[in-house]
Amino acid sequence: MGAKSIIALTLLCYLMGMMMCVLAAHDYGDALAKSILYFEGQRSGKLPFQQRLTWRKDSALKDGSDVGMDLVGGYYDAGDNVKFHFPMAFTTTMLAWSVIEFGQSMGPDQINHALDAVSWGSTYLYKSTANVPYKIAAQVGDPYKDHNCWERPEDMDTSRVTYVINQTHPGSELAGEMAAALAASSMAFKSSNPKYSYVLIKRAAQVFDFADKYRGSYNTSVGQGACPFYCDYNGYEDELIWGAAWLYKATGSQYYWNYVQNALPNVFLSSGQFGWDAKDAGINVLLSNLARPSQKVLTEADKFVCSLLPESPTKSVVFSKGGLYFQPGSQGYFNLQRITSHSFLIVVYSRYMQDAHRSVNCGGKVVGPSRLVEFARSQVDYILGSNPLGMSYMVGYGNKFPRRIHHRGSSLPSIVNHPQHIVCKAGTPYFQSKNPNPNILTGAIVGGPDMNDQYADDRTNAGQSEPSTYYVAPFVGVLAFFKGLKG
């Protein structure tokens, strides 16, 4: 089916007021390849000779020197040039989980690229925790100074200050997520690189011990470096359970199982939250497939599913006419970060349900695994272009996609074509320009449309046009899942 036919059929669905409409299948394999490629565009540090997005070059080669650490590498989180370690760790966890669950569906080429994406994050997190239990690097770059400039990462001349957490200024949510990322990455590499896997799991245990022993929020310890950009809004207890759960999954150690079981009754986990901040729904889904899942975990995981399905009497979301869901009362900004992470949990839980021969009862509506897959596909296909605008919200996928994304490197001329240094304010005209971005950040997923299924292709509208690593990381797994189904 051509692009015009898809647009016409999608418009027909929209006019009929249908929540979902069956369209011709998207090329999930192509979308998967592009989603993995995206992470090469977010790399910081010395780029390898295999770098495929060649408009990106080396950047931030002295990171960590102010605190005597090697912090070269890692990922820029979004359209800026700061390395926020909290969302970076979550991104790495989700990339690793995508490989663990769906790596077999990726194909030989893409699984290697996916593992490269995992290791770019996990190796950096390993370096960031080199001085545990004395200190852990929490972030690199002054966000206020960085956000005051529109500069390519290759040109950065703003402060690359390193923020740290330590025994007197702890950050349990950050360290807990780092432990989860290192443990999940260890599992991802267990068969292909067992030595690296062992190194990662050993460090994961050390970082978790630090997170648990020296409790406190990095909101206070890092202060304005973290807030208001990536404040932890719901406490660090969920990250401690999340980290312990991943360590149990990776090691089978009774210690971590006991830790999870002892902590769960004392922590309220909202069934519907999952992302770089709240790990609640992710914990419930992850634990539902471990040995001896508690009834509480299964009940909360079921509630998560029921909170999203359009036919569920207990749903807590609203749907646009085109079929995308939103939190009630939201403006829709950055909405796709919720869709991609939730879709990942839905397809993972559908597999767990199928293995356990379970169904979910949503207020009298009984749904099975196939219904969860169908619902997740409706959201995935919307992102890929089955929507009223016929717009793919993945950059580079399809014929119509965002051309003016809120991203410094993409919107400024490549250093290949413009080798002269572009200073802080000299980039402002490029930010304000109505021209399409000169560099295609293939695989990026933007914030997405509003409640009326409308999208402003405007880089000054960050809520709709800014992509982030933690949007794409769970989507890697979702796309691999659907690629596998098609196969």
Give the residue from 99, 139, 137, 136 showing the smallest Cα distance to 117. 99
User: How would you class 266 by CB atoms within 10 Å of its CB: exposed for 0-12, middle for 13-18, buried for 19 or more?
Assistant: exposed
Asked if 342 is an active-site residue, the reply is no
Asked if 457 is an active-site residue, the reply is yes
Whole-Å CA distances, 69 to 135, 161, 184, 209, 263: 11, 12, 24, 21, 34
**Quick check: bond before 467 cis, omega within 30?**
no
Asked if 406 is an active-site residue, the reply is yes
DSSP string, 270-331: -TT--SSS--HHHHHHHHHTSSS--HHHHHHHHHHHHTT-TT-TT---EE-TTS-EE-TT--
In 405-468, alpha helices (H): 408-411, 428-432, 462-465
- The single residue of 40, 63, 238, 457 carrying the catalytic annotation is 457
User: How would you class 199 by CB atoms within 10 Å of its CB: exposed for 0-12, middle for 13-18, buried for 19 or more?
Assistant: middle
Asked if 466 is an active-site residue, the reply is yes
- What gap in Å lies between CA 219 and CA 466, rounded to an integer? 24
Residue 388 makes CB contacts below 8 A (sequence gap 6+) with 10, 11, 14, 321, 322, 453
- The single residue of 80, 146, 154, 232 carrying the catalytic annotation is 80
- The single residue of 342, 406, 450, 453 carrying the catalytic annotation is 406
Active site residues: 80, 406, 457, 466
